[in-house]
Amino acid sequence: MIPQKVIVVTGASSGIGAATAEALARRGHSVAVVARRADALRAVAGRCEGRGRSFVADMTVRADVTRVVSEALAAFGRIDVWMNNVGQGITRVPSQLTDDDVDGVMRVNVKSALYGMQEVLPHFKDRGTGHIINISSMLGRIPSAVPRSAYCGAKHFLNALTATFREELQQTHPGIQFSLVSPGVVWTNFGANAMHGGPESRALPDGQDAEEVAEVIAGVVESRAPDVYTRPGSRKRVGDYYAIVGTDPA
């Protein structure tokens, strides 16, 4: 039998976060769902079969992240897994990016995760165990969408932070794991919610439902695998891309 875990899911009011919280609750885990939209968040917690608690917070504000850690510990007694899922796309080609564009995309996609990792880490160190899951993107592996230029860069940054946090903590606290999950196109409101608008994600080909991605993430909670893709063949695509990019010119 899989031990019950206490899992904090950020960006949980819709999309991948909401679907993951519900999938984890179905597996018997306790879930702290975190986002800015109180009504949507309460609805998600209500679908978590009595195992969900909602915490309204803005994860781009460090003080809010600190508060969520404290409130989750008060509510559940411990945190076993912290999932950084806050993210937002941006539609602007690199030659047109402004300072506000770059600052905004980094604040949402990088700083929210950095704050989460830094603020929960003392609790994990005290316990000698813990698990952080960062939700990245295939665009953080293969920067293939020119209008998503800054988003690609932000997810590359998140990937690097995940890897270097893992390396740092393995030296002193090997019971703390950092996992990276890389979905491709997911049929959510991601496109509609992008800065400067964007294509409807549900209209894009070769996508996945949020529920399918959520099942992969729920598996990562149990396996603690360090680097996971949500679609078969994605790892090979990444390897093939860098094999071509790394080829010396004739």
The CB-side HSE value for 110 (13 A sphere, CA atoms) comes to 19
Under DSSP, the state recorded for 110 is I
Active-site residue 151, yes or no? Answer: yes
- Taking 3-state DSSP, the helix, strand and coil percentages for the chain, each rounded to the nearest 5, stand at 50, 15, 35
Q: How far apart are CA 134 and CA 61, in angstroms?
A: 18
Could you tell me the two tokens for 118?
Answer: 């830094």
Tell me which of 151, 229, 241, 242 is the catalytic residue.
151
Q: At what angle do helices 149-172 and 99-106 cross, to 10 degrees?
A: 40
Which residue has tokens 């992008």? 194
Q: At what angle do helices 210-223 and 15-26 cross, to 10 degrees?
A: 50
List all residues 6 or more positions away from 168 whose beta carbon is below 8 Å from its beta carbon: none
| Cα–Cα nearest to 81, from 16, 132, 19, 128 | 132
Which residues have a catalytic role annotated? Answer: 151
